[in-house]
Amino acid sequence: MTCTKPPLQLQPGKVDWSDPHLDSLLQKTAGWQLDARGGYAPTRIKVYLGWSATLGMPGTMVWEGDGVVTIETDFPMQLGEQVRVDKPIDDRMRCIWGVVMKGRPGNRPGDAAAGIHVYWLQVSKG
C-alpha cells in the first residue's frame, strides 16, 4: 500500500506594517549590523611568504579553526602561496604553516581605503 501526503499549501502571512508594536520592534533594530567574526579576538601576527622567508610582514588573525585560519593583511598574496604565520602566545611564538586557499579584498567599511585583503589558509596539523 502506498501512502502519499498531499502537498503542503502555505500561504504567506499578512503583515500590518502600520502596527505600532511592529514599528517599535523595527526601530530597535535600526542600528544592527551583521558580523560573522563571532567571538574570536583578532590577534596581531607576522606573515612570512614562503617557507624560508626571513622578513615578516604585519597581519591580523581574525579566526582560527580546525585546519584553517583566516587572516587579514594590507598586502596581496597569491593562491597556493606557502605561508608561515607567527602568532604570539604569552611569552613565546607559535609558528603556523599553511597554504593560501582563498582570498578576496576586505568588504567592511574602511577596508578598501586601508588596502585590506582577507585570506583563508589551510594549515598543517602537528
pLDDT tens digit string along 35-68?
555 677 899 999 999 888 889 999 999 999 889 9
- pTM of this structure: 0.69
Task: Answer yes or no: is 116 within a domain.
Answer: yes
Mean pLDDT (the chain) is: 86
Task: Answer yes or no: is 71 within a domain.
Answer: yes
Task: Answer yes or no: is 27 within a domain.
Answer: no
Domain with 95 in it: what CATH number? 2.40.10
Residue 24 has a CB neighbour count (10 Å cut-off) of: 9
Q: Name the residue range of residue 98's domain.
A: 43-123
Task: Answer yes or no: is 62 within a domain.
Answer: yes
CA atoms of 105 and 119, how far apart (whole Å): 9
Task: Answer yes or no: is 96 within a domain.
Answer: yes
CA distances from 80 to 33, 36, 40, 86, 103 (A): 33, 25, 25, 19, 10
User: pLDDT of 74-114, one tens digit each?
Assistant: 999 999 999 999 999 999 999 999 999 999 999 888 888 99
Task: Answer yes or no: is 61 within a domain.
Answer: yes
